[in-house]
Structure 1
Amino acid sequence: MPSEEFESAAASFKRVGQDAVTHARRVAGNAVARSRRHHSENAELLKRGGRGAKPGDPTPGTLRAAAERFRRARGLSVPVVPDPADSVPSRSQSPARTPRSDDEEEDFSQMRIMKRDQ
C-alpha cells in the first residue's frame, strides 16, 4: 500500500505542478497581450495628439481625456487642470506685481551665516 500512496502523491504533485505552469503561462500571455494593446493605444494617441510638442505646451484634449480615463479606471485621483485658454492673461490686464528684492527677508547666504557663527 505505501507504494501506491507514494505513486498517487507523486501523480497528484505532478498534476498540481502542471496546472500551476499552465496558469502562469495563461497569466503571462494575458499580460503580454494587455501590454501590446496599451502600447498600440499609446502610439495612436501620440499620432493624434501631436508627437514633438514643446515642453510647456498645453496637453492636447485627446491625451488629457485618455489620461483621465486611465486614472478613473484604476481608482486614481484625477487632478483638476484649468483650461489653458482661461489661464492666458489678456493684453488689457496688467502683469502680476513681482516682489521687490529689498523686501524684508532673512539673508540666508553662506557668507552671512558664516559671519554669524564667528
Structure 2
Amino acid sequence: TALTLSEKEDWAYWCLGDVLILQGKPDEAVTQYEAAVKLKPENAFYYYKLGQILAVMKQNEAALTQYQKAVELDKTGEIGKQAQAHIDALKETASGIDAVVEDGLPEGSTPSDKAAAPLDDSTPSK
C-alpha cells in the first residue's frame, strides 16, 4: 500500500487518519494521528488534529493535553490560537457541567454522592 511505501512520511499518517474519520473509525484515526506525531513531534497541527478527534470521542482530558502541546509549539500562530480556543471551550464546558451537577445536589452532599445514589424508579425514562 501507499502507507507501507511511505512509512517515514508523517503526512501519510495524517491523511489516513482523516480518511478513517470520514469512514467513522475514530479509534483507528487516533492511531494514525499518533503515528504522525511520533514521526514529527514538532508539528503543532498533528497535536491539534489529535485533540480534535479525542474531544469528539469525549476524551476531554486527553484532548486538553494534545491542544496544550499544539499551543506550546505554535504560541502565536493560527494553530495555537485555534487550539487555545478549544482548550477554553473544553474548560468552560467542564465547569458548566460541574455547576449544573452541584446545583442539583442536596445541601452538604458532593457530586460523588449523587453518582452513587440509587436511581429513583418512580421517574419514567424518556
Query: Greater CA radius of gyration, 1 or 2?
Result: 1
Q: Taking structure 2 as the reference length, what is the TM-score of the superposition?
A: 0.28
Higher normalized contact order (CA 8 Å, seq sep 6+, divided by chain length):
2
Q: Taking structure 1 as the reference length, what is the TM-score of the superposition?
A: 0.30
